[in-house]
Structure 1
């Protein structure tokens, strides 16, 4: 029997997937009047055992991964347009034309960098992915440009934007995509440029302590009139929401230059700005949801800012059960000091179920970690080791959010014997019930198991002050 190396077998699997896509594409070419579409692929190092296929933030289908980490689905009637797919917690967009047969290949540990589309409809999606990566590189490696004076800043971002436009025009002519896809492609180019301009005055002040808003040209924000602020197609498009968040922050800061007191005040101002800027109610609701969610990510304020939640409720007409903010609000109320933690499925390394509410007899710190960040894993466990020396009467529990095999491998690799190690076997329940929106999130319990502080951060330099 012939034996193949791992690389050869991987290549063989990819060729087989491409062959399937090619045959499906041939079959669909003769059916130009239907809306059949195929979607599948292979996910290395998956973070969960399924792919969520979504449109407008609503799950259309849950696609399980098989034993080889593959998935595949045929849609008998799929409306052309922009969709997203998730291997939680990461996601990316995919655009389907009529009769497209698209396959993806990715490593979930490096989701964006490894993602490649193949099959019928792949070229436009690979273009959009390349554009995304270009913009992400700008965001992560060009923070220093906001230190520049205005002329140098504009020269720099204009030069980058001209390169993006040239790339966009070349690929548009080569691939020949439709007008609807062009709307999203051109929006990604433009909104990336506009967002930098919105960022400039307040990031410049943060970096240099120089407030230049009074010296900005009168026409500096004229581009705002070119943004389709009330087009519903953009409401679930991340480049749009990133831009809108920056724009609203700018307007709020300009209207209220000196805002003191708690953080909810400036954030209520942002809600009011959104109410005045957006006329399409569905778009307004989504923007309000985004502003509220961003605010609620600031864990230390989640309990005490009832005024913010009240104003959000007054402005947002989305009172459906699927409203993420309402769900978070209900969950947060369950996490107030003195309550017991909502029950979730936790297991130890021997696969025994652990009821956290029945295993607390002293002050306890619960923190979270994942294989997605090896550097943070070492830092957080080192911090806990130091805290154990300072606070010997405090118990520390680490909750991992990876798959079982990955978690057990890491426990052996890092030898975390001094810290109780548990795994959340249902990440979605953990996220919903304990409002896990950041991996840095830390929960402190009293000796009787009730909540002392459900929203703190282990890596905060003053964290030790929370402990007895």
Structure 2
């Protein structure tokens, strides 16, 4: 199939003149084929701005020559999935993927594709390393340092060998080396946080030079702001520094690891505000941290405190109105409030108030087609909970803005219970904000009063919260 793609698109490539012998051309060709597509389009973007939407033809292929693309990392999306690629003038990159295994099947080919392939390989290796961290952080710091040094050196050597064959541009070599470095720093920061939280004895063994890289950090590398590894590093660095500062002031028995406390959120927001000068990077983290603080606020005072932090640093990010709306959403979801009149749409296109969905106490869970792995995992757990707690009604609420037909198709494809699945009917709410509530469940009595708005499926005390709800 990939060979067919190359043959069918090669005429387009030649027509546009994007071949390897004319790298001095300004044009950049992007094309490809998507097997088992979710939808009929491929979206290319940079800096969170859509450059173009390319529609698939009858063979699920797409392609276009762009005249003025600058060198750098680009994002592409085939909703709900997304990835990154590296493009330069003169490149002619073909993308092939199968949505059944999006990242694992993704393949780049054509002149200039080796750069994107290298970044993809690092992404997949990072995913594997993230899983290995569950065992890595239990070893002593010296051994962990050796492992991370080896990972870094292997990648540097891989890049050097590829460059000898492909003759990469200086700009890509610089970016690739920086991305390797920040992936390395990210591993060190994650390890530091985990051992300080779970293995204080190991934390005491961290050598003095373990964090030597910190003196060379650049929090304003705008050329890396599309690179997930760089953003992950900054997020983990802010978290680790907040813990270290707290432990220096107090002790290991304190609440230093309460990452969603107002004190912790306040420190991390102020640290981001002081370290990061570039607004396009700074605002990413202030926005993330404010959302974390709001979503996990258990009372109105904490919610007002988070908004107060933003006002104190005079945050003027474009997401500020959304954050204030989110503060109001969170206040409405606090225990004691009533959301029984919340309008839902059932599978028959009827509008139904939440309180009328069932005569049983209700537990709502929320999902989006933008997060397929999440809703598959979520529905598997909910299915078991329904059998275990038949006295409760577990109600699924889809939060997506797209058509009801897409929602219905998803419900049917994944064999969800149609009678227990609903779509939110609240056009005044920014649905993107609700993505932050996908892990949360809301416990309601038969009148629509909120008993618990903080429950999460992935926490150890979740079923204890169910029992408290039933025994209330």
Q: Output aligned runs, 1:102-117, within 5 Å.
A: 102-117=93-108
> Any residues of structure 2 matched to 1:237-248 within 5 Å, and which?
237-248=227-238
Question: What is the CA-CA distance between 1:176 and the residue it aligns to?
Answer: 1.5
Provide the residue aligned with 1:224 in structure 2. 214
Aligned to 1:250, what secondary structure does the other structure show?
A: helix
Structure 2 counterparts to residues 309-324 of structure 1, below 5 A? 309-315=307-313, 317-320=315-318, 323=319
- Per-residue CA shift, 1:115-148, capped at 9, x if unaligned? 1112332111111111221222111124312111
Residue number in structure 1 paired with 2:157: 166
Show the 5 A alignment for 1:380-459.
380-387=382-389, 389-391=390-392, 394=393, 396-397=395-396, 399=398, 404-411=408-415, 416=417, 419-422=419-422, 431-432=431-432, 435-437=434-436, 439-445=438-444, 447-448=446-447, 455-458=454-457
Give the whole-Å Cα distance in 2 for the aligned partners of 1:197 and 1:136.
15
Q: Does 1:197 align with 2:184?
A: no
Structure 2 matches for 1:53-452, cutoff 5 A?
A: 53-65=44-56, 68-210=59-201, 212-213=203-204, 215-257=205-247, 258=250, 260=255, 263-295=261-293, 298=296, 304-315=302-313, 317-320=315-318, 323=319, 326-334=321-329, 336-337=332-333, 338=337, 340=339, 346=345, 348=347, 352=349, 354-356=351-353, 359-360=356-357, 362=359, 363-368=361-366, 372=373, 374=376, 376-387=378-389, 389-391=390-392, 394=393, 396-397=395-396, 399=398, 404-411=408-415, 416=417, 419-422=419-422, 431-432=431-432, 435-437=434-436, 439-445=438-444, 447-448=446-447
C-alpha distance in 1, partners of 2:382/2:54? 34
* Aligned partner of residue 390 in structure 1, secondary structure: coil
Q: Is the 8 A contact 2:43 2:78 kept in 1?
A: yes
* Residues 35 and 79, structure 1, Cα contact 8 Å, conserved in 2: no
Residue 245 of structure 1 contacts residue 291 of structure 1 at CA under 8 Å; is this kept in 2? no
Corresponding residue SS for 1:92: strand
| Displacement after TM superposition at 1:55 (Å) | 0.9
Deviation string, structure 1 residues 394-428 (Cα, Å, up to 9, x no partner): 463464977644431332xx7x47x523467999x
Q: Deviations over 1:317-371 (max 9, x none)?
A: 4332xx2x642441451351446599888551x6x35455585464433324576
CA–CA distance in structure 2, aligned partners of residues 346 and 102 of structure 1:
43
Confirm or deny: 8 A CA contact 1:430 1:436 kept in the other structure. no
Task: Note if 1:462 corresponds to 2:464.
Answer: yes
Compute the RMSD of aligned alpha carbons. 3.8
Q: Distance in 1 between matches of 2:136 and 2:261?
A: 28
Residues in 2 aligned to 1:279 and 1:15: alpha-carbon distance in whole angstroms:
44
- SS of 1:132's partner is helix
Q: Distance in 1 between matches of 2:344 and 2:91?
A: 40
Q: TM-score if structure 2 supplies the norm length? A: 0.79
> Any idea what SS the aligned residue of 2:89 has?
coil
Post-superposition offset of 1:290? 3.8
The TM-score, its normalising length taken from structure 1, stands at 0.80
Please state how far the C-alpha of 1:186 moved relative to its aligned partner: 1.0
Q: How many positions carry a matched residue from both structures?
A: 445
Task: List alignment gaps of at least 5 residues for structure 2.
Answer: 401-405
CA contact (8 A) 1:146 1:207 kept: no
Measured in 2, the distance between the counterparts of 1:227 and 1:89 equals 33
Q: Which residue is equivalent to 2:403?
A: none
CA distance in 2, matches of 1:345, 1:360: 9
The 1:50–1:355 alpha-carbon spacing in structure 2 relative to 1, beyond 3 Å, is farther
Alpha-carbon spacing, 1:400–1:76, altered in 2? closer, same or farther (3 Å)? same
Q: Any conservation in 2 of the 1:235–1:286 contact (CA below 8 Å)?
A: no
CA distance in 2 between counterparts of 1:372 and 1:68 reads: 26
State the distance in 2 between where 1:35 and 1:425 align: 47
Is the CA contact (8 Å cut-off) linking 1:53 and 1:86 kept in structure 2? yes
Q: 1:165 to 1:288 in 2, by over 3 A?
A: same
CA contact 1:328–1:432 (8 Å) conserved in 2: no
Partner of 1:5: none
Q: Structure 1 residues 344, 327: closer, same or farther in 2, change over 3 A?
A: farther
